[in-house]
Structure 1
Amino acid sequence: MQKKPKNKAARTAPFSSWHIILIIVLSFITYSNALAGNFVWDDELQIVKNWQIRDVRHVGLAFSSAFWAFAGPETGRTNFYRPVQTLTYMLAYLIGGLSAWSYHFVNVLFHTSASIILYLICIEYGISSVASLLACALFVTHPIHTEAVTWNAGTPDVSCGMFYFASIFLFLRYLNSGRKKWLWLAALAFLVACFSKEMAITMPIVAVLLLLAKGQLRQGRFRKALIDLAPLFAAGLVYIGARLAALRFLSTTHLNIETGVLDWATLGLRVFGQYIHYALLPYPLSAYHLIPLHLPDRVLSTLLYTGCIAVTALIVFMANQRVGGIGVWSIIFAVTLIPVFNFKGISQTFFAERYLYIPTMALSVVLALLLNKARNHAKIVTAAVVFVFAVLTFVRNADWQSDEKIYESILRVQPEVAHIRNNLADIYIKRGDDTRAKSYLETALQYLESNVYVQSDWERYRGHVGLGAIAARGQKYVEARQHLNKALELYPRGDWAYLYLGGVIMEEDGDYASAIEYFKKAIDLGPLNEVARDYMGIALFNMKRYQEAARYFREALEINPTYKDAETHLAMATRALAS
């Protein structure tokens, strides 16, 4: 009696361990200068002032609260439920404390791992190792990824990308082998990806598309397909349950603006077209993109990007006739972008380069499929593009070396961004360059008069606070009070306006008791305002209340351990107590 032959697993292309090594080397060379970068932009708040990451005993808080909960109850009401981000920062803190290099190193490590997994996805999909390597090398070096990899606040994107890619690879491995362990590991990777960033929630849709590509959704196989998808849906339910328990809601809005359906619909087309543009041609790069909300303010760009979508769809359709799989992976590119169209739940910019980190994975597979059928000259051209991309990425990394460089690079592309002008003004105020700071603050207020872009009243508040601080430093106290009171009209809960008003009272009148009341208000409104605590300590020190002053200086250092002024003042208070 003859034995029945066993079902053979689907063929996968052989891979080379040398290719893995090449990917690792290419990734670390491309991002080698990123390791020397400082903390920039949101890094100071998300990392330096984030007390949760300094103690592993706070692991539970990472899963039971929003990411921003460390910054206070008002800031904590956010859509960002990202336990893996907090855990990653904890790991980087264990490695290097508050030295920026360790956070950069972890990000590059995530990117390198994601790139290796992308290579394995291509191999698992049956693409040749050479084509897989070239497509993966393009992903490694793609300049659009600098924001996600080089910026420490981009950790959610690269960590989510790594686990998302792992889920796809493991799901493909399951489809090729039929072994259930790969399916459950895919579900686990999907869950961790969700805990990294909300974009991962699209994975079950991607799984359906992969089943379709593999012919698993033919008539009579729907029951098996549902069984195949069940672990992923179970993981999704676990994530939703954890999210609801921590946030008490699935999603909230950060943008309280009402406009017509036509504006929102055409904005979606405009933004999707821009994502295609930047995925294929990453220029001009900017860490902040302003896009008009209302259609009359962007008719031409909307028409151009709609045309871009139509032409791309036609090219994909034609290419799919010659190379199978291109259509499915192009749809996956679009599917992975679905979460970023929750415009009211994200931010006021509507478009961000780091949101392309996961979608470009699908684009890389499309390229690998094309290269798999292409002649050698196409592979040589791709290798040349990889080299050019690596150089461009290396150069772009330099923009992320400091706050001043990245802000100036943004304003070169889009000078209307009031938020960035205010940020640059803060830098120059700290340097004592009041003339330059005042120029940025005044132009920020001028740009805010326009209704073309959605920009927050918070930036108007910041502009007047900055001008008030400059006037106070120049002993123009009447002007300072006018700006600071205007700031409080715009935002009555603004801690910095109360802080500087207290400073004016302390400097002009020498009335430390009255100044202290303003500092108390600033401290109540600003849980992470170390400067308010430092000013409170200064007032108490001048009243010879050294013990209380020392307490506030310590509080300032607990918030920001790198704050040198508080360190100096604490030493003064300690000496006064000892004498």
Structure 2
Amino acid sequence: WHPLTWWSHMLDVELFDLDAGAHHRTSALLHGCNALLFFLLVLRWTRVPAAAFVAAALFAWHPLRVESVAWIAERKDVLSGLFGLLALHAYTGYARRRGAARLPAYLGTLLAFGLALAAKPTLVTLPFVLLLLDLWPLRRGAPVLRLVLEKSPFFLLSFASSLITLHAQEASGATGMAGVLSAGVRVENALASIATYTAQFLRPRESACLWPHAGLLGDGAVRELLPTAVAGGLLVAAALVFAWRRRRDAPWVGVTLLWSLGSLVPMLGLVQVGYQSHADRYTYWPLLGLAVAGAMLFETLLGALPRHRGLVRFGAAAFLLTALVSARVATDAWRDSRSLWEHCIEVTGDNFLAENNLGNLFAREGKFEEALGHFERSVELYAGTAPDPDSSARWMNLAAARSALGKHQGALAALRKAVSLDPSAPQPRIALADALAREGKDGGAVRQLRRARERNPEDARVAAKLATLLATTRDDGLRDGREALELARAACKLTASRDPLAVSALAAAQAELGAFDRALALQERVLAAYRDSSSAPDPFEREMLQRMDAYRKGRAWRKTP
């Protein structure tokens, strides 16, 4: 749920149509604005330009930022970041003012926070960040209860946003992975993600657009993840102990660490959404805290090592330059889809989703031999303990590639696997029925469509497919014009007679019952509408012309052997 982000995309389309470069430039501009806002924010907090520059550069140049900026669909990161930073600016002004002058700043903070949530709800943790900032750098001495009550409107917004987001994700099926990964695996991955994010921040390297969840790669991958999870748990414990010990002389340590750690909680996969173990884009807001920590460490070292300030500056410059070069290399991978997925496989290793997407890319280009290898690798790698929402689709992709290469028995086997993984879904059964019909196994095709109809009585495509087969099969024992007519009418009712497949099924059923004039009129209407929406003749249009020729001659249409 991110309506503000959708509006920003719509505005881009109004201004630039579908010019991808212009859309990219908008995201880059927003990221640049965020870097400037962050620089000014840290400058307000520390009054040290060098520290503010280090913080802004750590944030802006790090390769972890690439995904959020280069991927147009991740506009929500840079847009929510913009309003989140504006909220921090407004809150800083509120905390430093007195009397009636504070109210506009308070309301500005609340407004900016609401807009940030409307851009991306993961900023629900911002009220906690505000409480941390009260400790440092704002150093507000008010009673804790008063500070908490002051944030109550912010907590209410966070609560409402969380409910809306959860409802939206459940409605869209985004939480379907919850039944695939056990709670233990999700906790293990969450701890491992903390260690991984920290390592990625401290050792800038090439990023990847998808890091597959170990729980989907089998028990071996989960066991291999355990040391990283233990390291993550120890890292959290050590950081908290260190922050507590330095709470008086260096309160920034605890504030920045808790800022980053707390802001990561919604993205750690405790409620799993998607296939990723962790994602670079999830760090856009949380690692602002570590960027501030890096800046404060830089300033602290300059003060503690007066004789080695040149070395400290050189080390900071070297780190920032390394991050910038790594970000540049990572950006190159986003130049086209093939580069992106090949780079993803190169960086992450076993990656079933990247293999599937690369296979789809080759299939669209008609390179089915190359596609087949990637599809086979994809279904081989996925080892989830339960079928995920898209597992049947990957087997259907494999079936399509095998069929295109003439490996029809292999295609049927893949489609049967797809049906077994998601028996209630109509599309796998429709695909299996189509494949069986092409092999002349109309009886098997009818059985699959009847089962799909039982599970999906409101699916017009299933009704239309079954009606067409019952009206046009060459098997006299299967053919049933009256049932076909009933099914076709149901399909037309479900689609308000606007679906070419449903109306063509009705025409075929009418022809089977001898009403050739009605059949011809229906098919002519479908053809006219189809030509208006189709740019070039295709097999379906050619078949419609053949059907019309048969109806003119007073013959029912029969399925091509």
Report whether the alignment pairs 1:206 with 2:140: no
CA contact (8 A) 2:91 2:105 kept: yes
Partners of 1:161 and 1:111 lie apart in 2 by 8
**CA shift in 2, pair 1:311/1:235, >3 Å:** closer
* Rounded Cα–Cα distance in structure 1 between residues aligned with 2:435 and 2:288: 54
Q: Could you say which residue in structure 2 is the equivalent of 1:368?
A: 295
State whether residues 121 and 162 of structure 2, in contact with CA within 8 Å, keep that contact through their aligned partners in structure 1. Answer: no
Q: Is contact 1:164–1:189 with CA below 8 Å preserved after alignment? A: yes
Matched position secondary structure for 1:400 = helix
- 2:285 maps to 358
1:304 paired to 2:231:
yes
Q: Which residue of 2 aligns with 1:113?
A: 33
Q: Deviations over 1:354-407 (max 9, x none)?
A: 111101211121222233344342234323332332222122111112221111
Deviations 1:77-115 (A, max 9, x none): xxxx21122112111211222232232122212211221
Give the Cα–Cα distance (whole angstroms) in 1 for the partners of residues 241 and 2 of structure 2.
Answer: 38
Q: Say whether residues 1:285 and 2:216 are aligned partners.
A: no
Q: Which amino acid in the other structure matches residue 216 of structure 1? A: R
Return the offset for 1:479: 3.9
**What's the CA shift for 1:304?**
3.3
TM-score by structure 1 length?
0.70
Q: Given residue 469 of structure 1, which amino acid in structure 2 is its aligned partner? A: A
Q: How many angstroms does 1:135 deviate by?
A: 1.8
Q: Does 1:567 align with 2:535?
A: yes
Evaluate the alpha carbon distance shift between residue 195 and residue 536 of structure 1 in structure 2; reply closer, same or farther with a 3 A threshold: same
2:163, 2:393 → 1: CA distance? Answer: 38
2-structure distance, mates of 1:439, 1:277: 33
**Which structure: larger Rg?**
2
Q: Which residue does 1:472 correspond to in 2?
A: 403
Matched residue, 1:46: none
Change in Cα spacing, 1:553 to 1:492, as seen in structure 2 (3 Å) is farther
Partner of 1:521: 461
| Equivalent in the alignment of 1:335 | 262
Are 2:109 and 1:186 equivalent residues in the alignment?
A: yes
Structure 2 CA distance, aligned partners of 1:90 and 1:245? 24
Q: CA shift at 1:196, angstroms?
A: 1.6
Distance across 2 between alignment mates of 1:322 and 1:524: 74
1:162: how far off?
1.6
Q: Does the C-alpha gap of structure 1 residues 335 and 439 become closer, same or farther in structure 2, counting only changes over 3 Å? A: same
- 1:243 Cα deviation (Å)? 5.8
| 2:294 aligned counterpart, secondary structure | helix
- 1:189-223: CA deviations, max 9, x gaps? 111111122211111111111122334355xx346
- Cα offsets for 1:281-331 (capped at 9, x unmatched): 233522222343476453322233334445555665677665442321221
Match of 1:483 in 2: 414
Distance, in Å, in 1 between the alignment partners of 2:411 and 2:540 is 29
Q: Contact conserved, 1:171 with 1:183, CA < 8 A, in 2?
A: yes
- Report the number of matched residues: 470
Shift of 1:347: 2.6
1:234 CA drift (Å): 5.1
Separation in 2, partners of 1:299, 1:237: 33
Higher mean Cα deviation, 99-108 or 190-199? 99-108
Partner of 1:76: none
SS of equivalent to 2:287: helix
Is the Cα contact below 8 Å between 1:442 and 1:463 reproduced in 2?
A: no
Q: TM-score, normalised by structure 2?
A: 0.72
Q: Does 1:216 align with 2:147?
A: no
Contact map agreement 1:425 1:441 (CA 8 A) in 2:
yes
Change (3 A) 1:441 1:458: farther
Q: CA offset at residue 468 of structure 1? A: 2.1
1:347 is paired with a residue of what secondary structure? coil
SS at match of 1:344: coil
Match of 2:363 among 429, 432, 446: 429
Whether the 8 Å contact between 1:276 and 1:309 is mirrored in structure 2 is no
Partner secondary structure for residue 172 of structure 1: helix
Q: What is the Cα deviation at residue 146 of structure 1?
A: 0.8
C-alpha separation in 2, matches of 1:243 and 1:462: 26
TM-aligned CA distance change 1:340 to 1:242, over 3 Å: closer
Structure 1: distance between partners of 2:246 and 2:380: 49
Q: The residue matched to 2:276 in structure 1 has which SS?
A: coil
Distance 1:540 1:509 in 2: 22
The corresponding residue for 1:165 is: 85
Give 1:74's aligned residue.
none
Gaps of 5+ in 1: 1-80, 526-532, 556-565
Structure 2 residue 12 is the aligned partner of structure 1 residue 92: yes
Counterparts in 2 of 1:109-508, with a 5 A limit? 109-178=29-98, 179-213=102-136, 214-218=138-142, 221-222=143-144, 224-226=146-148, 228-233=150-155, 235-236=157-158, 239=161, 253-257=175-179, 263-283=185-205, 285-293=207-215, 296-310=223-237, 312-313=239-240, 323-375=250-302, 376-377=309-310, 378-448=312-382, 450=383, 456-458=387-389, 460-492=391-423, 494=425, 497=428, 500-501=431-432, 504=435
Is 1:540–1:549's contact at 8 Å kept on the other side of the alignment? no
Other-structure match for 2:481: none
| Structure 2 residue aligned with 1:7 | none
Alpha-carbon separation, structure 2, partners of 1:309 and 1:339: 16
TM-superposed deviation, 1:254: 2.9
How far apart in 2 are the matches of 1:446 and 1:573? 38
In structure 2, what is the Cα distance between the partners aligned to 1:184 and 1:383? 39
Matches of 1:357 and 1:298, distance apart in 2: 24
Whether contact under 8 Å (2:64, 2:207) holds in the other structure is yes
Question: Hey, what's the Cα distance between the residues in 1 that align with 2:504 and 2:347?
Answer: 42
Work out the percentage of aligned pairs sharing the same amino acid: 19
Q: Distance in 1 between matches of 2:402 and 2:187?
A: 45
| Backbone CA RMSD of aligned residues | 4.1
Quote the Cα distance in structure 2 between the aligned partners of 1:297 and 1:571.
50
d(CA) in 1 for partners of 2:356 and 2:58? 36
Q: Residues 237, 321 of structure 1: CA spacing in aligned structure 2 closer, same or farther, 3 A cutoff? A: closer
- The answer (yes or no) to whether the contact 2:206–2:327 under 8 Å persists in 1 is no
Residues 507/245 of structure 1: CA separation in 2 closer, same or farther (3 Å cut): closer
Residues 204 and 229 in structure 1, CA contact (< 8 A), matched pair in contact too: yes
- Provide the secondary structure at the position in 2 that maps to 1:254: helix
Question: Cα 1:535–1:118, aligned 2, differ >3 Å: closer, same or farther?
Answer: farther
Check conservation: 1:217, 1:225, Cα contact below 8 A.
no
Does the residue aligned with 1:350 lie in a helix, a strand or coil? Answer: strand
Q: Which runs of 5+ in 2 are unaligned?
A: 303-308, 453-458, 466-498, 509-518, 546-561
Which amino acid in 1 is paired with 2:86? A
8 Å CA contact 2:4, 2:115 repeated in 1: yes
Once residues 261 and 474 of structure 1 are traced to their aligned partners in structure 2, the CA distance between those partners, rounded to angstroms, is 42
**Higher mean C-alpha deviation, range 493-502 or range 195-204:** 493-502
